[in-house]
Amino acid sequence: MILPLLRWLSLRHWLQHPVRAGLTLTGVALGVAVTIAVDLLAGEILAANRRSLEAIAGKAQLTVTAGESGLDRVVADRIFGTPGVAHVDALLERQLIEPGRGPILLLGVDFLADAALRQIEAEGADQEVIDDPIAFLNSRSAAVVPESFATRRGLKKGDRFTLTAADGAHELEIRAVVKDRGPARAFGGDVVIMYLDAAQVALGMDDRVSRVDVGLAADAQPETVKAALEAELGPAFVVDFPLRRGARLDQMMTGLEQALFTMAALAIWVGILLAYNAIEISVRQRKNELAILRAIGTSRRAVIALVLAEAAGVGLVATALGLGLGYLFATYGLAATATTVSDVYDVVKVSEVQLLPRHVVTGLGVGLLIPLLGALRPARHVANESPVAGLTRGVEETFAAGRPWKPLVFGGLFFVAGLSLAWSPAAHTNIAVGYGAFASMLGGSVFFAPVIVSGLAQVLRRACGRRLWAEHVVALDHVVRDRRRAALNVASLVAGVATVITVATYATSFKEANQRWLASAVPADVFVTSGSKMAMTHNTPLDPALGQELGRIDGVDEVFLVRIADFDFRGRPLKLISTQMRGYEARSTPLVVEGAVSRDGPVARGAGVFVSENLAGRDNFHPGDRLTLPTPSGPATFEVEAVVVDFTSDQGVLLIDRAPYVKLFADPLVDSFELFLKPGVDPAAVQQQIRRQWGAKYDLFVLTNREFKAEAQELIEQIFALLDLLQLLTLFIAVLGVGTTLIAAVLDRTQEVGVMRAVGTTPLQVIHIVLSEAGFIGAAAAFFGTLQGALCGMVFLRTILLASIGWRLPWVLPESTYVFVFLGVSAASVVAGLYPAWWSAKQPTLEALQAE
Amino acid sequence: MPSETGATSIALTEVRRVYDAGARRVEALRGVTLTLRAGTATAIVGPSGSGKSTLLHICGALDRPTAGEVVVLGTNLTTASDATLTRFRRDHLGFIFQFFHLLPTLSALENVMLPARLARRGARAAETLATTLLARVGLADRVQHRPAQLSGGERQRVAIARALVLDPAIILADEPTGNLDRATGGQVLSLLFALAHERQRTVFIVTHDPEVARLCDRTVTLRDGQVAL
Ligand SMILES: Nc1ncnc2c1ncn2[C@@H]1O[C@H](COP(=O)(O)OP(=O)(O)O)[C@@H](O)[C@H]1O
Ligand SMILES: [Mg+2]
């Protein structure tokens, strides 16, 4: 029964109405595409990070580290002696600077040791260099580089290049070129491999290594061996699984992950709305045909089955199309942002996106399941209606908007539910509650948004009907009449805008909070770092001796030596910040959340610690608590003096005095010199002098206070720039969705346009009408989306962000984004209306007039 | 373009119209020569498919002949551009259709005002004019109604008002009573003729109703795309 129907009716219908068929396919395919593209991009950004870490970790199952200063190589023997350990490999890992290019990862590898965990491969003769490394064991400058490294720089075997370390420049010679595999793939290929001993000498590391990789015996349980190693080595050492350890090295990753997740969820949402809408419209448009089927005796069941079978067919084709389209969007998007991504997350070198079975499943979910759902409602409606009623009511009427109170009530309920979730105490700690609140509000707007947009049109029409041009009156009428047809596409546009505004609210609020914090807590006049402008991320630590020299500069009052060390604490990669607290506290005003900072309190005396707000909130620390930190010299206890605001790390920050830090961690290096000048001294002059004297030697960055703050803003902006792409992509597709709705609408309106043309409407006026309609939808959706985004932004700050990172940010509205989004979305919407407008205007009047 | 009674309003010379629908070739008009005087009412009658609508469309600047010449109000429409035709329709012609073809979202008043507003006439002037016309067709108390809230006869009266709002020299109607019952159709037509006479307008009306034809000054019969004598 169904098969012949499908053949005779469905296939013919689709073939005879290629534009309609195309629109439906496009709608569903766009839905799949946006879902897949954003998923691919977000996934790739996170995966690239993991790949890089995997590459460094190689086949190791566990890794042992001991803070920034590393561990003694002899520890490797103790590790090897632990039951269950089969292989150990000691490695040196340092970030150096390649002048004019940026950070390079230097790996010191023991080529003479057990190579079971290592995968460094070379071609032909070069392989011998690695297998029989005697030749370059004696050389302090011999290096091995990956193929991509050499190609990018136009270097070959025998060539020399320069890297800058804490103690100045080092010249290295390429002895061998290896394949881009294993560790050579880490850091996107920006890796230089040296013989461990040579690297140690070159970097003045004595016999210290950064970490020891551990391979397990075949029958050993990783958890058991981990516990055994922890017991054997004591609390000064961190034993971890390589990937988990790697994931902790990321800066800002938590916030980014949440934002990426929000974006991906939004994309799925937009995708679902688009796909649902496309199918729903296509079924409604055929209701007369289906009613005839019913009238001539086809059963309800058969009609529903027919519609569903069709939806499944369309869904399958659209899914395939959407997967391809999504892949294209992602690939081009990636090409557009690859630089930004690498700039910000230097461990992350994004290569190329990969379609996985998971994506196909998601694609089918959006492309097949949603169309089936979208078809079911109108199909059942037609099947259950008496054939007579179905035949007498026109297509336009099925789109006619019903009373607006129902969607308003539904939308209101969702909104209220969302807000109450956001205000429930659980939202502060449970991230799922936050997402629930967020989803609830977006869900509410599906009901709300279309009513509001068409309501705005109605109000505008009533309020200034006389003064409006006829084109605008007609356009506004179309908006009102097409409420139901455009509903879901308007809703997806609103959701897109709302999310952009939400992320912008996060960005603005974060920037504002960061500026307040920097202004009061980090007030130095000049900042000196090496390798990177900010000490927070991938800079090269410097020798403290430079501090004394800087202090001797004319006009410099005091120099503070700041160390920002990675520090694993209770399973979290914190930042442990140390400086001379006694004097520093006199100059800066920490933003105290709890407790009080005093001139000779525990921190100034070297016995206390300031805890960042997010860490304190998570682990429930309060002033007066005692905190025991694992150090290479054994556990050390500090008293919590105050809980303070600090945005150095989203994982949490501990601040202690420099003296106990240097002693406990045996680490005298300095990440940043903070200079306070005598009154009246020009920072720019001091800056010039430092650059002249030491700049080249240490690859220094010297920033005045103003530049430092600007740099901090810039860094935040770069992090958010990554999200811009995903947002633009989602908005772009949402706008395309509006475009397809307009095409369907002008198709159905052919005859009306014919009438208008007959009574003297010019083609330009027809174009004007469609573009006004498009522009109005865009502007109204942007307006409502902005309102909703402002609210969602607050919800994001006080729920998702608070629960995931623990920062309490002020709610700052991103006004400039409002203007940008409003104009951008309105304009894009008008552009999306160009094709339907042109199509509508070029229809021959007489044919249009006679169209059915 | 003012037209004196007696002057030539529409002049067709050897007008042919051939539809080429793939393999099927239909000659809808096969050499029609016809002159209509300004200020008169002419009925075109003839069996279905004889080319009446085609002829009306060509006179109404909605279609162009395949061969022959069409001069309306002194303007040669045979080869005029689309833009010219559009402007010509707006400024000189009024249409009344069998299926009324009012815009469903606009009120009766707005439907009547629409051509005037699209021609950039002032809102106040257009409204006054439209209100007067609606009163004249007996719909003074229906101005705010939507087409869906009006009966067939009322809709057609709105359409007549719309056709007259820019005071066209020629009114073209294609079976204006085809969708109305006899009594209503009669009323609507009387109204149309009354208004046309008042203003000395040319009326060109397609019909297959002999009653309608009787009300006109002249009847032209088409048969197989030719004027039957
Ligand atoms: N767009 C068209 N394409 C092909 N043939 C057409 C078209 N319009 C009209 N015809 C044909 O031209 C002939 C005249 O049509 P028409 O002028 O509508 O006749 P009438 O109005 O007298 O019934 C008919 O045979 C009709 O089938
Ligand atoms: Mg006809």
Residues B10-19: tens digit of each pLDDT: 999 999 999 9
CB within 8 Å: A846 and B87 = no
Q: CB distance from B123 to chain A under 8 Å?
A: yes
pLDDT in tens, A757-804: 998 899 999 999 999 999 999 999 999 999 988 988 888 888 888 888
Q: Which residue of chain A has the CA closest to B126?
A: A466
- Which is nearest to B31 in space by CA: B71, B69, B76? B69
* A593 in Cβ contact with A521 (< 8 Å): no
Q: CB distance from A392 to chain B under 8 Å?
A: no
Measure CB to CB from residue B118 to each of A761, A763, A849 and give the nearest one. Answer: A761
CB within 8 Å: B127 and A752 = no
* pLDDT of amino acid A9: 65
Q: Which residue of chain A has the CA closest to B164?
A: A759
pLDDT band of A49, cuts 50, 70, 90:
low
pLDDT band of B168, cuts 50, 70, 90:
very high
Rounded to the nearest whole angstrom, what is the distance from the C-alpha of residue B28 to the centroid of ligand 1?
6
Local structure of residue B145 (DSSP, 8 states): -
The helix (run of H) or strand (run of E) holding residue A169 is strand A168-178
Smallest CA–CA distance, residue A514 to chain B, in Å, is: 54
Name which of A751, A755, A756, A767 to mutate to probe chain B: the one with the most chain B Cβ atoms within 10 A of its Cβ: A755
How many residue pairs from chains A and B have C-beta atoms closer than 8 A?
74
CB within 8 Å: A760 and B123 = no
Secondary structure (H, E, C), B64-125: CCCEEEEEECCEECCCCCHHHHHHHHHHHEEEECCCCCCCCCCCHHHHHHHHHHHCCCCHHH
pLDDT in tens, A498-514: 888 888 888 889 889 98
Full-model pTM: 0.77
Residues with CB under 5 A from ligand 2 (ion): B 53
- Which is nearest to A738 in space by CA: A488, A495, A499, A363? A488
- Taken in order A454, A459, A461, A467, the sign of the CA dihedral is negative
CA atoms within 13 A on the CB side of A705: 14
* pLDDT of amino acid A57: 59
Q: CB distance from A773 to chain B under 8 Å?
A: no
pLDDT in tens, A523-534: 899 999 876 677
Q: What is the ipTM of this complex?
A: 0.90
* pLDDT of amino acid B112: 94
* pLDDT of amino acid A4: 67
Sort out which chain A residues have CB atoms less than 8 A from B60's CB and list them. Answer: 758
Q: What is the mean pLDDT of residues A696-717?
A: 84
* pLDDT of amino acid A339: 56
Which residues have any ligand 1 atom within 6 Å of their CB? B 19, 21, 26, 28, 46, 48-54
- State percent of chain A over pLDDT 90: 21
pLDDT in tens, A78-122: 888 888 888 888 888 877 778 777 678 888 888 777 666 666 666
pLDDT in tens, A60-83: 778 888 766 678 888 888 888 888
CA A375 to chain centre: 34
Ligand 1 closest atom vs CA B47: 22
Higher pLDDT, A432 or A650: A432
pLDDT in tens, A556-587: 999 999 998 888 788 777 889 999 988 877 78
Burial class (CB in 10 A: 0-12, 13-18, 19+), A405: exposed
CB within 8 Å: A470 and B97 = no
Sort out which chain A residues have CB atoms less than 8 A from B57's CB and list them. Answer: 846
Best residue for ligand 1 mutational test, from B15, B18, B30, B54 (most atoms within 8 Å of Cβ): B54
Cα-based distances in Å from A28 to A25, A443, A454, A507, A739 = 5, 20, 24, 32, 14
Asked whether the predicted pLDDT for residue A131 surpasses 70, the reply is no
Task: Identify the three-state secondary structure at position A63.
Answer: strand
pLDDT in tens, A217-253: 888 888 888 888 888 887 778 787 765 555 444 444 5
Rounded to the nearest whole angstrom, what is the distance from the C-alpha of residue A754 to the centroid of ligand 1?
18
Smallest CA–CA distance, residue A50 to chain B, in Å, is: 58
Q: Which residue of chain B has the CA closest to A764?
A: B83
- Which is nearest to A163 in space by CA: A91, A211, A94? A94
pLDDT in tens, B208-226: 888 888 888 899 999 999 9
Query: How many beta carbons lie within 10 A of that of residue A628, not counting itself?
Result: 11
pLDDT in tens, B26-48: 899 999 999 999 889 999 999 98
Higher pLDDT, A686 or A386: A686
Q: What is the mean pLDDT of residues B187-192?
A: 85
- Which is nearest to A272 in space by CA: A204, A363, A335, A393? A363
Tokens 């150095």 locate to: A648
Mean predicted lDDT score pLDDT of chain B: 89
* pLDDT of amino acid A132: 61
Q: Which residue of chain B has the CA closest to A752?
A: B103
Closest ligand (CA of B175): 2
Asked whether the predicted pLDDT for residue A201 surpasses 50, the reply is yes
* pLDDT of amino acid B1: 44
Sort out which chain B residues have CB atoms less than 8 A from A396's CB and list them. Answer: 104
pLDDT in tens, A603-646: 989 999 999 999 998 889 999 999 999 887 888 999 999 999 99
Measure CB to CB from residue A760 to each of B86, B97, B124 and give the nearest one. Answer: B86
pLDDT in tens, A6-22: 666 677 777 777 877 88
Domains of chain B with bracketed CATH: 39-63+81-227 (3.40.50.300)
pLDDT in tens, A173-189: 888 888 776 666 666 67
Asked whether the predicted pLDDT for residue B4 surpasses 80, the reply is no
* pLDDT of amino acid B30: 94
Tokens 């109703």 locate to: B209
Measure the CA–CA gap between A80 and A241, rounded to whole angstroms.
17
Smallest CA–CA distance, residue A284 to chain B, in Å, is: 20
Mean predicted lDDT score pLDDT of chain A: 82
Ligand 1 closest atom vs CA B50: 22
Sort out which chain A residues have CB atoms less than 8 A from B83's CB and list them. Answer: 762-763
Cα-based distances in Å from A443 to A407, A437, A488, A786 = 11, 10, 11, 16
Asked whether the predicted pLDDT for residue A147 surpasses 70, the reply is yes
Q: CB distance from A470 to chain B under 8 Å?
A: yes
Asked whether the predicted pLDDT for residue A390 surpasses 80, the reply is no
* pLDDT of amino acid A842: 92
* pLDDT of amino acid A347: 41
Smallest CA–CA distance, residue A450 to chain B, in Å, is: 18
CB within 8 Å: A469 and B117 = yes
Sort out which chain B residues have CB atoms less than 8 A from A767's CB and list them. Answer: none
Query: How many beta carbons lie within 10 A of that of residue A839, not counting itself?
Result: 18
pLDDT band of A346, cuts 50, 70, 90:
very low
* A302 in Cβ contact with A2 (< 8 Å): yes
Measure the CA–CA gap between B20 and B41, rounded to whole angstroms.
32
- Angle at which helices A763-795 and A705-748 cross, to 10°: 130
Residues 6+ apart with CB under 8 A from A431: A258, A799, A800, A803, A804
* pLDDT of amino acid A125: 57
Phi, psi of A528 (to 5 degrees): -120, 120
Measure the CA–CA gap between B33 and A127, rounded to whole angstroms.
97
Burial class (CB in 10 A: 0-12, 13-18, 19+), A341: buried
Rounded to the nearest whole angstrom, what is the distance from the C-alpha of residue B161 to the centroid of ligand 2?
22
Smallest CA–CA distance, residue A20 to chain B, in Å, is: 23
pLDDT band of A352, cuts 50, 70, 90:
low
* pLDDT of amino acid A402: 62
- Token reading at B209: 């109703």
What's the Rg (C-alpha) of chain A? 32
pLDDT in tens, B73-120: 999 999 888 889 999 999 999 999 888 889 888 899 999 999 998 888
CB within 8 Å: A755 and B103 = yes
